């Protein structure tokens, strides 16, 4: 799969997730809903990094 297809799929699913999440939590403040969604995304991102075995390469990331 090319990176362009992956980028479009990511944008599409992010939009759908946002819409469905807002429909499901109508009485919740949008800032709180965004924070909850962000936490869920972080958990899944770390899980995928662990499953793929690339979590050990975090030390090679250059921040500066």
Determine if residue 61 is left, alpha or beta; phi over 0 gives left, psi from -120 to 50 gives alpha, anything else beta. beta
Answer yes or no: is pLDDT of 1 > 70: no
pLDDT tens-place string over residues 9-40: 888 888 887 787 777 777 777 778 778 878 88
Quote the tokens at residue 17.
């997730």
Percent pLDDT > 70 in the chain is 95
Q: What CA–CA distance (Å, rounded) separates 18 from 20?
A: 6
């Amino acid at each position: 799969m090319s990176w362009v297809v992956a980028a479009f799929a990511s944008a599409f699913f992010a939009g759908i997730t946002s819409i469905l999440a807002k429909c499901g939590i109508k009485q919740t403040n949008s800032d709180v809903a965004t924070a909850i969604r962000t936490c869920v995304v972080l958990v899944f991102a770390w899980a995928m990094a662990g499953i793929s075995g690339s979590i050990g390469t975090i030390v090679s990331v250059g921040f500066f």
